[in-house]
Every structure is written in structure tokens, then in C-alpha cells.
């Protein structure tokens, strides 16, 4: 057994030496870990906000101002997620030779450390990969992206916290360049076999490597964030969505044909039903058009990260529910012509229904709604996720 252990030890050391680099150090790993931890924390907080808006607990507050709040939080969420991809790759590169150490488990604490790393790496890779594919609106898997992405976020942040707790002494020792342990850290020429250092030549310095990672991450962010932030739209090279595209200059995710509502939406006998307890009114499109109309510039923002400012015109929701005798701060259920879709019905809390800028929109950018934007009527409310801005509305119910 000892001979086998010795042979495995020697072979793993040989493989490890083959992948050694004078760039790797505990200080480098800690610096990359700080950046990656910050990116994942931003993703987690902004993603949690988006999830709670869609699945509100009883204590949830629904901020409707500033109207661009969801644009900012979801844009930051997707941008930070994209930035985490090169950071995660660099972090894994900096530590992967540690996986080639023998024996693989030295103690219970070492086993916990390895388990936390395995869980963190596996969950992180799935999280960023599925998140990136979501920005392209491509779902080649049989499970619910939203549910899996949400719960994996908890796994990532939990395993990250466990990993930090287990590595805290090392992190503290190498947190700054002036820390005693970092100052005592042997230079690369003393930690890497001389032959390997010589073979690698002078190469990159650690500072140069970090500068390259920073520049690469910055380029990725600047060339994708333009799908959310208009001042970066001119630099948008790789993001799947671009502003001012789509019918009436606004992108769409789901067409009327995909939702199976085209015939019902274009039917001449379409009416909107507004109800509260025993009171019910039906309004044709012409009757809705005869009511007082209001126009507001509001952004529509998608969970996939893109957003678009637009001019919406229509009837205030609070005016509609006043017609059936309900107070402005009523909670509503909005039903679409779409049958069976996840967002065919949406819950509208009082914060939105009483807001003067929440509209049953009939026009977009000065024209009647395009069929794919929700003709004959759709919801637009300030600070609300795009998936809840229900299209092809047929019923507004006070609940």
C-alpha cells in the first residue's frame, strides 16, 4: 500500500509540475476571489430583488420610483453575471493544480474544504452558463430556468460563504500586499521548479496578468451592457439584444403567434372586462379610446437584461377600477388572452394599481399597439419586470 501511495504521489506531483506556472500564487488567488465574490454578491442581491418582485412575500415593498429602478437592477444583474465569466475562468485557472495533489483528502476539514469547492464550482458553472443562454432566450434544457437559476443562486452564495469561512485565515494573510504572509510568500522562482520557471521564461508578471483580466472583463462589460444602458448602446457588440429594434422600435420576446392569441386579439368583438365583487363592466376598444388618455415615457425591462425606453399612451388603471367602484389601492389580477402561459395571468399589488403612470396601454410610440406588443391592450407600470407587463389583456379583476 505504501508503494502504491508513493507511486501515486510521484505521478500526481509530476502532472502538477507540468501545469505549474510562476504566475500562480495565494495572493493572486485571493485577489481574483475578491473580484469574483463581489460579482456573485451583486448578482445574488439583484437577482433576489427580481425574484421577489415576481413572487412577492407578504412584507414585500414595490418601489415604483425611480421608474428606471428595475432597468438598473436587472441590467446590473446581467452585466455582473457576464463579468463573472472571465473572473471565474481566471480563478479556476489559478487553483486547478491543487486538485492534482495526493492524497486527495488529508483530514475532515480538508474534506469539507474540497466539498465546498466542488459544490461552488459546479453550481457556479451551471449558473453562469444557463444565465448566459437565458440572455439569448435559448433554453435547451427540460427544467424551469427561473426556478433552477433562483435556487442555484442560493447554492452558489451559500457554498461561497462556507468556502470563505474555511479559507479565512489564508484570505486574511494574503488580503493585501503588505500583509505579513504575503510579504513572506516565496517568490515564484523559489516555489516553482527551476526548470519550469526557465521553460516559461520571463513571461507575464502577476500584475500584468491581473491587468489583462481586468481589461478583458471591462471589454466584455462595455460591449454587452449597452442592451440595458442607453449611454453604452454605441459599444454594444456582443449582447443579443439591441435597443430600437423590433416592431415600433421596441424588442419583443414572445410574439402573438407564439402565444397563440393572434385570432382572438384581432377579433372585432374583443372587449375588456373590468370587475369588482358584483360589479362588472365591459368596454370595447372604441369605448376605451374615448376615455381620458394619458401618455408617459416608461422603460420596459426584461429579466434577460435588455431594456428600452418608450412612450406609452392609454387609460389609467386606477380610472378603470374606479368605474366599478373599487378604491385606487386595490390589488388586481390581470388576465391575458393567452391560455396556459406562465404569465397569462399576473398579480398587480396596490403600489402599481394606484400609481398614476400605470396604464392599460393602447398606443406605443404614437401608434396603436403592434399585435406582438399586446394589441389591443397591455399593461405598462413603472418599475415592474417586463414579464409582468401583461400583453393582450382581456380582464382586470379587483381581488
* Residue 330 contacts residue 347 (beta carbons within 8 Å): no
Output the pLDDT for position 49: 96
Grid cell of 288 as nine digits:
376605451
Output the pLDDT for position 194: 46
Distances in Å between the alpha carbon of 371 and those of 68, 264, 271, 287? 25, 11, 16, 19
Residue closest to 31 by CA, chosen among 242, 181, 207: 207
Percent of the chain at pLDDT above 90? 64
Output the pLDDT for position 193: 46
Q: What is the pLDDT of residues 273-304, one digit of tens each?
A: 999 988 999 999 999 999 999 999 999 998 88
Grid cell of 76 as nine digits:
446590473
Question: Which helix (H) or strand (E) segment is 116 a member of?
Answer: helix 108-135
- Provide DSSP, 266-302: H-TT-EEEEEETTEEEEEEHHHHHHS--EEEEEEEE-
* Residue 23 contacts residue 209 (beta carbons within 8 Å): yes
Grid cell of 2 as nine digits:
505504501
**Residue 171: alpha-carbon gap to chain centroid:** 28
Distances in Å between the alpha carbon of 224 and those of 6, 149, 191, 218, 241? 50, 21, 39, 10, 9
As beta bridge partners, residue 316 has 359
Whether 189 has a pLDDT exceeding 70, the answer reads no
Cβ–Cβ contacts within 10 Å for residue 384, how many?
27
Grid cell of 60 as nine digits:
414585500
Residue closest to 316 by CA, chosen among 338, 332, 339: 332
Residue closest to 56 by CA, chosen among 292, 397, 385: 385
Grid cell of 307 as nine digits:
431594456
Distance CA 350, CA 332 (A): 8
Distance CA 40, CA 36 (A): 6
Q: Is the previous residue joined to 103 through a cis bond, with omega within 30 degrees of 0?
A: yes
Residue closest to 348 by CA, chosen among 303, 396, 295: 396
Grid cell of 162 as nine digits:
462556507
* DSSP for residue 387: G
CA angle 281-361-298, nearest 5°? 145
* Residue 78 contacts residue 232 (beta carbons within 8 Å): no
* Residue 103 contacts residue 391 (beta carbons within 8 Å): no
Q: What is the pLDDT of residues 224-245, one digit of tens each?
A: 888 888 888 888 877 777 888 8
Output the pLDDT for position 19: 64
* Residue 33 contacts residue 25 (beta carbons within 8 Å): no
Q: Which stretch, 99-113, 216-230, 322-336, has highest mean pLDDT?
A: 322-336
Q: Going by DSSP bridges, is the β-strand pair 393-398/359-364 parallel, antiparallel, or unpaired?
A: unpaired
**Which pairs from 341-348 meet CB under 8 Å and 24+ separation?**
341/254, 341/259, 342/387, 343/387, 343/388, 343/390, 345/390, 346/379, 346/388, 346/390, 347/56, 347/399, 348/317, 348/379, 348/381, 348/388
Output the pLDDT for position 311: 97
Grid cell of 334 as nine digits:
390581470
Output the pLDDT for position 192: 46
Output the pLDDT for position 204: 72
The pTM score is: 0.86
For cell 398614476, what's the residue?
356
* Residue 36 contacts residue 29 (beta carbons within 8 Å): no
CA angle 170-176-181, nearest 5°? 50
pLDDT band at 107 (very low <50, low <70, confident <90, very high): confident
- Of residues 14 and 161, the one with the higher pLDDT is 161
- Of residues 3 and 269, the one with the higher pLDDT is 269
Residue closest to 360 by CA, chosen among 349, 344, 350, 374: 374
Amino acid at each position: 500500500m505504501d508503494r502504491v501511495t508513493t507511486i501515486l504521489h510521484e505521478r500526481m506531483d509530476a502532472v502538477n509540475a507540468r501545469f505549474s506556472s510562476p504566475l500562480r500564487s495565494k495572493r493572486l488567488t485571493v485577489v481574483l476571489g475578491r473580484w469574483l465574490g463581489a460579482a456573485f454578491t451583486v448578482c445574488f442581491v439583484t437577482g433576489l430583488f427580481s425574484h421577489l418582485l415576481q413572487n412577492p412575500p407578504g412584507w414585500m415593498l414595490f418601489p415604483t420610483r425611480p421608474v428606471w429602478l428595475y432597468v438598473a437592477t436587472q441590467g446590473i444583474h446581467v452585466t455582473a453575471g457576464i463579468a463573472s465569466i472571465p473572473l471565474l475562468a481566471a480563478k479556476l485557472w489559478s487553483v486547478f493544480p491543487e486538485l492534482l495533489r495526493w492524497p486527495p483528502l488529508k483530514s475532515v476539514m480538508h474534506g469539507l474544504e474540497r466539498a465546498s469547492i466542488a459544490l461552488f464550482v459546479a453550481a457556479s458553472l451551471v449558473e453562469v452558463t444557463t444565465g448566459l443562454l437565458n440572455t439569448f432566450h435559448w433554453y435547451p434544457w427540460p427544467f424551469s430556468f427561473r426556478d433552477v437559476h433562483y435556487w442555484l443562486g442560493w447554492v452558489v452564495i451559500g457554498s461561497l460563504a462556507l468556502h470563505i469561512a474555511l479559507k479565512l485565515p489564508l484570505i486574511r494573510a494574503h488580503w493585501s500586499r503588505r500583509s505579513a504572509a504575503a510579504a513572506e510568500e516565496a517568490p515564484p522562482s523559489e516555489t516553482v521548479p527551476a526548470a519550469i520557471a526557465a521553460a516559461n521564461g520571463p513571461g507575464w508578471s502577476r500584475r500584468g496578468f491581473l491587468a489583462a483580466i481586468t481589461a478583458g472583463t471591462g471589454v466584455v462589460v462595455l460591449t454587452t451592457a449597452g442592451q440595458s444602458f442607453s449611454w453604452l448602446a454605441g459599444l454594444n457588440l456582443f449582447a443579443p439584444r439591441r435597443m430600437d429594434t423590433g416592431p415600433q422600435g421596441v424588442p419583443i420576446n414572445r410574439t402573438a403567434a407564439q402565444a397563440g392569441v393572434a385570432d382572438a386579439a384581432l377579433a372585432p368583438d374583443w372587449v375588456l372586462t373590468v370587475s369588482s365583487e358584483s360589479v362588472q363592466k365591459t368596454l370595447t376598444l372604441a369605448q376605451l379610446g374615448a376615455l381620458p388618455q394619458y401618455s408617459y415615457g416608461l422603460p420596459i425591462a426584461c429579466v434577460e437584461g435588455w431594456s428600452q425606453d418608450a412612450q406609452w399612451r392609454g387609460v389609467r388603471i386606477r380610472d378603470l377600477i374606479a368605474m366599478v367602484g373599487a378604491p385606487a389601492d386595490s390589488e388586481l389580477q390581470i388576465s391575458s388572452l393567452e391560455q396556459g402561459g406562465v404569465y397569462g395571468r399576473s398579480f398587480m399589488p396596490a403600489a402599481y394599481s394606484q400609481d398614476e403612470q400605470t396604464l392599460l396601454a393602447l398606443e406605443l410610440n404614437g401608434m396603436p399597439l403592434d399585435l406582438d406588443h399586446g394589441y389591443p391592450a397591455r399593461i405598462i407600470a413603472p418599475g415592474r419586470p417586463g414579464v409582468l407587463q401583461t400583453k393582450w389583456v382581456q380582464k382586470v379583476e379587483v381581488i
